[in-house]
Homo-oligomer: A and B are copies of this chain.
Amino acid sequence: MTPQVRELAALVAFPSVSSAPSPALRACARWLVDKLRRLGARDARLVETGGPPVVMGSVGQGRSVLIYGHYDVQPAGPASAWRSPPFAPVVRDGYLYGRGASDAKGQLYAHLAAVERLGARLPCRVVFVIEGEEEIGSPHLPAVLAAHAPYLASEVAVVSDNAVLGPDRPSLTYALRGDLYLDVEIAGAHPELHSGNFGGAVANALRVLVRALASLHDAGGAATVPGLADDVVVPPPAERRYMRTTGPSDRELRAEAGGAPLAGAAAYERATIRPSIELAGLTGGYTGAGIRGVIPARARAKLDVRLVPRQDPERVHRQIFARLAAAVPRGLTLTTRERMRAQPVLLPRDHPAARAAVRAYRRGFGVAPVFVRAGGSIPVVSALAERTTPVLMGFALPDDRAHGADERFSLAMLAKATATSAAFLEEIAR
């Protein structure tokens, strides 16, 4: 490992899972403060939020460029699914493996490395804002941005938390889907009952939940919630043609998804300009080994709903609740609880900051980037858009397995990302 890869591995080694808080979050934040101080950010510090702290610090002088990052990561999921432990990063075949390597510690680290490389030649003031709650919807960040508005004031905010199309196909993301994450619960009217004595005679809370969830989609998997499509704005034909020409093909997305058939053609459109309702988890009744003859008294599910521009999370929540409730008979109780909300985002492609980013990618990758839409959500982007112009400069690869087992970050991409970040700081300062 080079010294830089070793340093990135140290950052990835923190099990900074925000949905299951542990001291690792604060330890990771302290590590970043130390790193910023070594880069010359004498004002680097932790800002308390009530949750994991936000790391802030600034380097250099001149026009301000805000660089946003997050040090928290998704849960690792089942350890058995990983080839090497998720928080013991190792390099194999040119990739650093570990939870958060790609999403987004590797991408954040490229900016730190760029500032280090520029050193005294840094032509602007770079102010870092690195939070620890991105993966749970950034509940505290908007207030922190407001409280520190003068310190953070900038014309542009760089966010690197998404993917390019390939190692030689840089791309600049101009649209994100929004996110609405719901916990759904059906509580039965009965305690848990013997499935022999009562099978067929009482309402089964788990069966009712299954029936309610099944009503959200048609046989082909398309969402069928009444009203859901009302606020969906389909992009104009010219933009859809551009998407078809420049975006990932079905074949590429199929490879990225593990090689199996997709749910239909035009997967890039399905995953970006259309809303989706995914069932992310479900549990109810007896799930242990062997058999237990019971009629469950309650059951829970997690719905991950992705929204496109103009859709309002609150309205969509009401529509989904109504659809689920229609399948719940009297005597059983349906509860939904919003666990995360992110607004959909559509950014201008002709802003000077976007043009500077295009030039920076050309310098860093040797080829001009295309503009792409992303299916994922970055909750903070809509908060940033209220104060400055976000620029979404992703450095992940489509097969990095963000959120999955064996997540990784390409070391070749680390080099290109560092060069692109340094180039952007030079371009924006011109």
Contact present for B293 and A285 (CB under 8 Å): no
Contact present for A291 and B285 (CB under 8 Å): no
Whose C-beta in chain B lies nearest to the C-beta of A305? B199
Q: In whole angstroms, what is the CA distance A211 to B213 when docked?
A: 8
| Chain B neighbourhood of A264, CB < 8 A | 201
Contact present for B285 and A279 (CB under 8 Å): yes
| Chain B neighbourhood of A276, CB < 8 A | 195, 199-201
Contact present for B201 and A304 (CB under 8 Å): no
| Chain B neighbourhood of A369, CB < 8 A | none
Q: Which chain A residues in 384-401 approach chain B with CB under 8 Å?
A: 398, 401
Contact present for A202 and B285 (CB under 8 Å): no
| Chain B neighbourhood of A204, CB < 8 A | 221, 278-279
Using A210-B279, A285-B281 as known contacts, say yes or no to A306 and B136 having CB atoms under 8 A apart. no
Q: Which chain A residues in 1-55 approach chain B with CB under 8 Å?
A: 18-20
Q: In whole angstroms, what is the CA distance A413 to B75 when docked?
A: 52
| Chain B neighbourhood of A340, CB < 8 A | 291
Contact present for B199 and A306 (CB under 8 Å): yes
Query: Min CB distance, A187 to chain B, in Å?
Result: 11
Contact present for A291 and B260 (CB under 8 Å): no
| Chain B neighbourhood of A136, CB < 8 A | 290-291
Whose C-beta in chain B lies nearest to the C-beta of A302? B286
How many copies are assembled? Answer: 2
Q: Tell me the count of chain A residues lying within 8 A, CB to CB, of chain B.
A: 97
Contact present for A306 and B192 (CB under 8 Å): no
- The yes or no answer to A330 lying at the interface (CB within 8 A) is yes
Which listed residue (B181, B197, B285) contacts A282, Cβ 8 A?
Answer: B285
Query: Min CB distance, A305 to chain B, in Å?
Result: 8
- The yes or no answer to A177 lying at the interface (CB within 8 A) is yes
Q: Which listed segment binds B: A140-148, A239-247, A267-275, A359-367?
A: A267-275
| Chain B neighbourhood of A267, CB < 8 A | 201-202
| Chain B neighbourhood of A289, CB < 8 A | 19-20
Contact present for A201 and B258 (CB under 8 Å): no
| Chain B neighbourhood of A211, CB < 8 A | 214, 217, 219
| Chain B neighbourhood of A192, CB < 8 A | 77, 81, 403-405
- The yes or no answer to A74 lying at the interface (CB within 8 A) is yes
- The yes or no answer to A327 lying at the interface (CB within 8 A) is yes
Contact present for A376 and B197 (CB under 8 Å): yes
Contact present for B258 and A196 (CB under 8 Å): no
| Chain B neighbourhood of A315, CB < 8 A | none
Query: Min CB distance, A392 to chain B, in Å?
Result: 13
| Chain B neighbourhood of A278, CB < 8 A | 195, 199-200, 204, 207, 295
- The yes or no answer to A261 lying at the interface (CB within 8 A) is yes
Contact present for A207 and B221 (CB under 8 Å): yes
Interface CB pairs A-B, < 8 A, 24: A19-B291, A20-B290, A74-B292, A75-B288, A137-B291, A189-B258, A196-B306, A196-B374, A196-B377, A197-B402, A199-B304, A200-B263, A200-B271, A201-B267, A201-B270, A201-B276, A201-B375, A210-B213, A211-B217, A280-B292, A281-B296, A282-B282, A282-B283, A283-B283
Closest 5 CB pairs of A and B: A196-B376, A189-B260, A19-B290, A200-B276, A214-B214
Excluding A197-B271, A200-B275, A201-B375, 4 further A-B contacts by CB distance (< 8 Å) are: A74-B292, A193-B257, A196-B374, A281-B286
